[in-house]
Every structure is written in C-alpha cells, then in structure tokens.
Amino acid sequence: MKRKLFGVLLTLALSASLLAGCGTATKDAGTSAGSAGMETDTNETAGEAVRDTSEEAANGNGVLVGVSMPTKDLQRWNQDGDNMQEQLTDAGYKVDLQYASNDIAAQVSQIENMIANGCKLLVIASIDGDSLGTVLIQAKDAGIPVIAYDRLIMNSAAVTYYATFDNYMVGTKQGEYIRDALDLDNAAGPFHIEIFTGDSGDNNAKFFYGGAMDVLNPYMESGKLVVKSGQKDFETVATANWSSETAQNRMDAIIASNYGDGTVLNAVLCSNDSTALGVANALASSYTGAYPIITGQDCDIANVKNLIAGKQAMSIFKDTRDLATRTVKMADAIMQGGEAPINDTESYDNGTGIIPTYLCEPVFADVNNYKKLLIDSGYYKETDLQ
C-alpha cells in the first residue's frame, strides 16, 4: 500500500505541474509486485508505432539510430554513451551519438538533426524530462520510435518504451543502508542527517528521494533522526544538474550554520556520486567532527576511491552495460516490427499514460564487495582505482 500511495501522490504532483503551466520501484512508481521480473511482449501501441520500419531494419542492417546523452560532465553518461554505441554497432546499426552539455536547447537541436538525417530510432536520456515535447512531436509524425533511456521523458505521447534501473529501489537501498549503519531500530539517538538529491527536472531524482525517505521518515517523525538544517523537502534538497560544486557550496553553508559548534553529523543521504563528491569536499574543508555515513550512486571512480579511503560508505552500482544490452534488445524488437521485452507495465506514467518499461536491478557496493562487483566483473581495472 505504501508503494501505491507514493505513486498516487507523484501522479497528482505531475498533474498539478501540468495545470500550473506547462537493480521494485516506487509505490506505483517503480516495479510493482505484479509486474516485476515478468517479461511480456504485449504492447499494442508500441507495435503500431513501429511496424512500418520492420523490413528495412531486421538485424540492424545498417539502420541509423540516434543516441542523445545529456552531458559528458558526469562519468556515468560517458560510460552509457560508449556502451550504447559499442553494442548497437555490434548489432549491425549505425549510430549517431551526441552529448548536449546539459544544455536543453542543444539537446533539442541535436535530436532535430537526428530526425532530419534519417534516424529510424531515437534513444534519449533527457536533460529535463519536460522539455522535449515539441521535438518529439516531429519524431512521432515521422513514425520514429523513441526509447527513453534511464530518465523518463514526461508529457509526450511519442515515448514508445522506457529502459532504466529500478529507481525507487535505489533510494530504498540508500535509506536502508543508513538505517542499518546507525542501528536506528535499536540505538537511542538522536542522530543528525542532511539530505542531497538530484536535479528537480530529472524525474528519477523524485524516485531516489521517495525510496529513501519512505525508509527514513518514520525515524524523523519519532525524533530519532534530526535534519538540523531543516532542509528536507524535495525542492529544497534538489541539486541543479547534479552538480558537485553546487552540492559542495550548499554543504559548506549547512556546516557553517549547523555543525560549527561541535554538533556531530551522523549521515548524509546523497542520491548519487556527484552530489556525494561535493559533500565530501565540503566536509574535508570545513567539518571537524566524527565523519558521517555518506551514500551515493553510480560507482564513479573518484567515489570508489573515496569508498576505499573511508570517505564514502556506499554507492549504488548500476551496471550500464546491462542497461545498454536491454536497450539494444528493445531496438532489435522494434526494428523487426515486434514488441520489446519489458517487465513493468504499471509503474511509469509520463503524463500521457503508462510507458512500457524494462527495469534493471541495482545493487549496493561498499568496501567489502566493490572488488567483486567492479573489478572481477571487468567494469574497472584495479589500476583505475589506485
């Protein structure tokens, strides 16, 4: 019921924003119990959108696929772009891979060029999920299927499928890690915590935040967890562009106002590694108390080094190779005139309806298991982390 409630609230919030101007997932916004882990090939709308391209595109056959990534500034998007390009090329496609430098207008222009240049399929990781409606009308009118990659594109009927990780589970794992590390069910407390999530225009940030807060809120309500800064609501703790510098500046201010008197900061909930890196930098420059638990996501190299050094407690590992593999399978199915493999048909409503989705499962990495997850799997070389 909790998961259903979160989904209802999130849907209401999305509806309100429209009226104002326009690894299990969330409680209706992540993997539902009835759909997770069960692949299905039933999606009539998606099938209707792509039937005209089947003869030309069987088995790749040199068909041009446009891949739009938000930025090169974060390590993970470079890995996503490289993985998508490599796997699509191996499957026989031509690839137009573009990065938009976190500039919405640039991303729109790049997608327009992909359409004009004859791309038969678009894979898009959006900068802002609400900002691509106009250009995607062009894609829909041209009969070009669209796969939203890792970030759900909102309020567009052009979105055919969504491929992502279980984003609510990401937040849940982060919240559970803090709960268990502080032994909140048994320890007396109170413990102090601060909260950093991602860009408010990234739909995933709401899921990360929601999953974690559903775990931690009961302890906040009981007074066992205290947000000393008072900064708790999503809009206040959101970090524009997931920027490390922005997170660092905000953490500097929080430390100066709340922890300069010797108050111990016990934990910092960070939704991803770039915000965690900013928080760690601020702690290094201006915090003198016992070091807090810091969460993260993506297992970026700098953060894994911090994990090894004891400056970050954990990070969520999302193997982007798996996500790329699933996305290429979707592309193959679409280009052959079929329906893509999915495992969630209830959770992700982009404002125009439920988007058929494939969810990959995230896992958490810490100092005890990072070698198995990251080095033994070939994701990194051991020298990368030295």
Q: Is 294 helix (H, G, I), strand (E, B) or coil?
A: strand
* Confidence (pLDDT) at 46: 36
Closest CA to 334 of 91, 169, 141, 90: 91
- Assigned domain for 373 exists: no
* Confidence (pLDDT) at 201: 87
Are 196 and 271 part of one and the same domain?
A: yes
Are 298 and 177 part of one and the same domain?
A: yes
The whole domain housing 26 covers 2-164+319-360
Closest CA to 363 of 347, 379, 385: 379
d(CA 240, CA 374): 28
* Confidence (pLDDT) at 203: 87
Of the three residues 317, 349, 375, the one that is the final residue of a domain is 317
* Confidence (pLDDT) at 352: 95
| 195 bridge partner residues | 269
- Assigned domain for 386 exists: no
- Assigned domain for 371 exists: no
| 149 bridge partner residues | 163
CATH number, domain at 249? 3.40.50.2300
- Assigned domain for 268 exists: yes
Are 180 and 129 part of one and the same domain?
A: no
Closest CA to 137 of 167, 112, 110: 112
pLDDT in tens, 75-89: 889 999 999 999 999
Structure tokens at 300: 């970026």
d(CA 330, CA 379): 23
Are 200 and 272 part of one and the same domain?
A: yes
d(CA 319, CA 80): 9
d(CA 347, CA 168): 11
* Confidence (pLDDT) at 59: 65
Strand ranges (E), 238-356: 267-270, 293-294, 315-317
Are 9 and 89 part of one and the same domain?
A: yes
Are 329 and 311 part of one and the same domain?
A: no
Are 261 and 328 part of one and the same domain?
A: no
Are 99 and 198 part of one and the same domain?
A: no
**Residue 77 C-alpha from the chain's centroid:** 11
Are 311 and 243 part of one and the same domain?
A: yes
- Assigned domain for 121 exists: yes
Are 323 and 258 part of one and the same domain?
A: no
Closest CA to 216 of 185, 243, 254: 185
- Assigned domain for 27 exists: yes
Are 18 and 158 part of one and the same domain?
A: yes
pLDDT in tens, 37-92: 333 333 333 333 333 344 444 467 899 999 999 999 888 899 999 999 999 999 99
- Assigned domain for 25 exists: yes
Are 228 and 183 part of one and the same domain?
A: yes
* Confidence (pLDDT) at 56: 42
- Residues of the chain predicted below pLDDT 50: 1-58
The structural domain count of the chain equals: 2
